[in-house]
Amino acid sequence: MAALVALAPIALALVLMVGLRWPATRAMPLSWLATVAGALLLWKLPPLYVAALTLHGFITAASVLVIVFGALVILYTLEQGGALETIQWGMKRVSADSRVQAIIIGCMFAAFIEAAAGFGTPAALAAPLLVSLRFPPLAAATLCLVFNSFPVTFGSVGTPVLLGLEYARPVAEAAGIGATAFNHGVGRWAALLHAPMIVLLPLLMLALLTRGFGERRRFGEGLGAWRIALLGSLCFGVPYVALALLAGPEFPSLVGGLLGLGGVIIGARSGLVAPRGEPWTFGASSSWPEDWIAIDDGG
């Protein structure tokens, strides 16, 4: 019974936001009320303690929003200052191929931003950059959200491991495992589990990109960029795994993202690992289906 009550606020938020497509401003207060009701009626927590926990939640949420707000400030500053045009020009000098741009910005740049800031900032920064390079908004959002997977474990300079597992440390300490050893152990196993996907996910996403959004709808066009994808995976994955094994959870994604970004840019500019043939693009935007550009709000 207690487990079901504890699950109810999460289930309610999912039903309202995903099923009924309510905005978070309406769904989350109801989820909070369900949480408060369970705390007061089932667990018999003192009202003052519930109020203190609510305040703690507000402060935690505010800290996340400040980080996201900072990312949006950077984005709009770049936009208003004309820097997006400079980035577009620079990216076209590196490669006019949308597959290469997807690896550089959607994967490596977003991984570095996740490592440095986290909390949704990769999608907030990388997706608009891809859209400015004439990616369909749906493709840009999908790439950034799916690629933002293996960097997350060590995002925000290791926050998911250092703080996210805080409540599991007493169990580890009871077994005679210190906090530092516990953090490093979790980081090591997480990096090893992620290692195969660091290699496979870029290839898979490029294949799905050209199959879902290409003019000819072929998986093979995405796999034609396998050299640049593999270079990015190696430049990111080797320091990612090495630092997780040897140093701890703070820097694997940060250093991996930085080296991966630099390695892919150098490789693309040199032409040694660039895709063969004509640059692949999404075609004229006038031919894009409506659902590539806008999402129906259900109303």
- CB-based burial label for 143 (10 Å; 0-12, 13-18, 19+): buried
Quick check: 148 pLDDT over 70?
yes
For the cut 60, the answer to whether the pLDDT of residue 296 exceeds it is no
Write out the two tokens for 74. 């950077």
Q: Cβ-count burial of 58 within 10 angstroms (0-12 exposed, 13-18 middle, 19+ buried)?
A: exposed
Dist CA 142 CA 106 (whole Å): 9
Closest alpha carbon to 161 in 141, 204, 134, 191? 191
The whole-number average pLDDT for the span 3-7 is 91
The pLDDT value given to residue 294: 67
The answer to whether residue 170 scores a pLDDT higher than 90 is: no
Alpha-carbon span 183 to 118, nearest angstrom? 19
Tell me the per-residue pLDDT of 81-110, one tens digit each, with 9 for 90 and over. Answer: 887 788 888 888 899 999 999 999 999 999
Handedness of CA 47, 48, 51, 53 (dihedral sign): negative
Alpha-carbon distance 115 to 133, whole Å?
Answer: 24
Domain boundary assignment for the chain: 95-292
Asked whether 265 and 90 are in contact (CB, 8 A), the reply is no
- How do the residues of the chain divide into helix, strand and coil, expressed in percent and rounded to 5? 75, 0, 25
Instruction: Look at residue 68 and tell me whether its pLDDT is greater than 80.
Output: no
At 124 the pLDDT is 82
Backbone torsion region of residue 149, taken as left when φ is above 0, otherwise alpha when ψ lies between -120 and 50, otherwise beta: alpha
Which of 37-46, 66-75, 118-127, 202-211 is predicted with the least confidence, judged by mean pLDDT?
66-75
What is the pLDDT at residue 299? 42
pLDDT band at 295 (very low <50, low <70, confident <90, very high): low
CA dist., res. 68 & res. 126, Å (int): 13
Q: Which of the residue ranges 16-25, 63-72, 166-175 would you say has the lowest mean pLDDT?
A: 63-72
Helix (H, G, I), strand (E, B) or coil at 280: coil
> How much is the average pLDDT of 23-27?
92
Band of pLDDT at residue 298, cut at 50, 70 and 90 = very low
In whole numbers, what is the pLDDT of the chain averaged over residues? 91
Residue 157 has pLDDT above 80, yes or no: yes
Alpha-carbon gap, residue 24 to 120, rounded angstroms: 15
Share of the chain above pLDDT 70, in %: 98
Asked whether residue 293 carries a pLDDT value surpassing 90, the answer given is no
Task: Give yes or no for a contact between 117 and 73, defined as CB atoms under 8 angstroms apart.
Answer: no
Q: Hey, what amino acid is at 189?
A: W
Q: What is the pTM of this model?
A: 0.81
